[in-house]
Amino acid sequence: MTSMPMLDVRDLRVEFPGRHGSVTALDGVSLTIAAGEILGVVGESGAGKSMTGLAVQGLLEPPGHIAGGEVWLDGRRIDTLSEREMQHVRGREIGAIFQDPLTSLNPLFSVGRQLIETIRLHLPLGRAEARQRAIALLAEVGIPGPEERVDHYPHQFSGGMRQRVVIALALAARPKLIIADEPTTALDVSIQAQITSLLRKLCKEHGTAVMLVTHDMGVIAETADRVAVMYAGRLVEIGPVADVIARPSHPYTRGLMGSIPTLGARVPRLQQIDGSMPRLDAIPKGCAFNPRCPHVMPRCQTERPELRPSGSGLSACWLNTQAQERAA
């Protein structure tokens, strides 16, 4: 991964001004995704996974806004673009897949109309050409009989099929980056695997970078190349998926892994992380995880750890720093 990353997020900070001062929803998030790479983003609800995706797309709900950092897409800075310019980035360069395929399609327009709308917004095609492309896209995402299905309405499709339509919409203009926010959470388990493998196949074929936001480590393990773990609006660990799963470096990641049931393995009791994630307006000083961490040290309560190399990835924990310092 020596080439320039497709998506480069640097020290991103998102704030929500409120009555009682500003709430920092994202704090110092830095990550990169290369072309053709799938980065999984995991964490508990409210850890800032979806927020990261929305911030990259410029779709933060006001009064939320990017308060610091930079977002670069294919060598171009996009967080400073105007709303009008962002309209051409969204859909054209960044495709989106939402969580619930039952609600993300407009119920009153046929899927063909929604596809053609997206295609013609971003590509210089006539109506007939756009329709041909819409049919080709439906075929590509594995919808049988696309010539007929193109004129059907969303309610005539099953959940899995609708998610395929949503993927077709995300792919409509061959974007450089796809942000998939919990794309399989609302689907049956049997359909989940189909959708993730479809996503993976299309991403590899077209060299599209994918940010796969999910709380499901299983999906990440099957689909992603690298994984970023988020906690309380901060990145705690990022690295190749096999390494992070096999040898999690951050105590929080270890806790996450320990709470996943495995088939075959006879574990007497699943591990759990005690307590819950802090509210964003009451993040503890130092490391945000320190009140729940089994290895907490005095330093963790005062100083915030930075992301440092650990194994093949990066991890933000004083334990690693300590180990490295000892080794040095």
Partner 1 sequence: MIVFLIKRLANAALVMLVVALMAFMIFRFVGDPIQLMVNEQTSQAERDALRERLGLNESVVMQYLRFVGNAVQGDFGISYRNQQEVMSLIAERFPATIELVLMATIISLVVGVPLGVITAIHRRKWYSEALQFVSIIGVSLPSFVIGILLILVFSVMLNIAPAFGRGDVVSIGWWTTGLLTPSGRAALILPSIALSFYQITLVMRLVRAEMLEVLRSDFIKFARARGVPAWRVHYSHALRNCLMPVVTMTAMNIGSLIAFALITETVFQWPGMGLLFIQAVTFVDIPVMAAYLCIVSFIFVALNTLVDITYALIDPRLRNSKA
Residue 325 near partner 1 by CB under 8 A: no
Q: Which of 24, 50, 104, 208 binds partner 1 (CB under 8 A)?
A: 104
Query: Residue 212 pairs with which residues in a beta bridge?
Result: 40, 180
Residue 187 near partner 1 by CB under 8 A: no
Q: Which is nearer to partner 1, 165 or 203 (CB)?
A: 165
Residues within window 150-179 making contact with partner 1, judged by CB under 8 A:
166, 169-170, 172-173
Helical spans, DSSP H, in 101-182: 111-122, 127-140, 146-149, 159-171
Residue 19 near partner 1 by CB under 8 A: no
Residues within window 121-150 making contact with partner 1, judged by CB under 8 A:
121-122
DSSP conformation letters of 230-294 = EETTEEEEEEEHHHHHHS--SHHHHHHHHTS--SS---SS-----S-PPPGGGPPSSSTTGGG-T
Q: Which is nearer to partner 1, 122 or 131 (CB)?
A: 122
Query: Of 9, 1, 4, nearest to 72 (Cα)?
Result: 9
Question: What one-letter code names the amino acid at 258?
Answer: G
Query: Of 286, 314, 321, nearest to 300 (Cα)?
Result: 286
Q: Which of 107, 261, 268, 294 binds partner 1 (CB under 8 A)?
A: 107
Residue 312 near partner 1 by CB under 8 A: no
Q: Which of 21, 45, 108, 325 binds partner 1 (CB under 8 A)?
A: 108
Residue 87 near partner 1 by CB under 8 A: yes
Lookup result for tokens 């995706």: 53
Q: Which of 100, 129, 222, 243 binds partner 1 (CB under 8 A)?
A: 100
Residue 59 near partner 1 by CB under 8 A: yes
How far from 212 is each of 63, 76, 97, 180, 326, CA to CA, in Å? 25, 22, 9, 5, 36
Coil, helix or strand for 173? coil
Residue 88 near partner 1 by CB under 8 A: yes
Q: Which of 47, 60, 105, 288 binds partner 1 (CB under 8 A)?
A: 105
How far is 177 from 27, CA to CA, in rounded Å? 22
Q: Which of 22, 106, 156, 259 binds partner 1 (CB under 8 A)?
A: 106
Q: How many residues bind partner 1 (CB under 8 A)?
A: 31
- Can you give the binding site for partner 1, defined by CB under 8 A? 57, 59, 83, 87-92, 94-96, 98-100, 103-109, 117-118, 121-122, 166, 169-170, 172-173
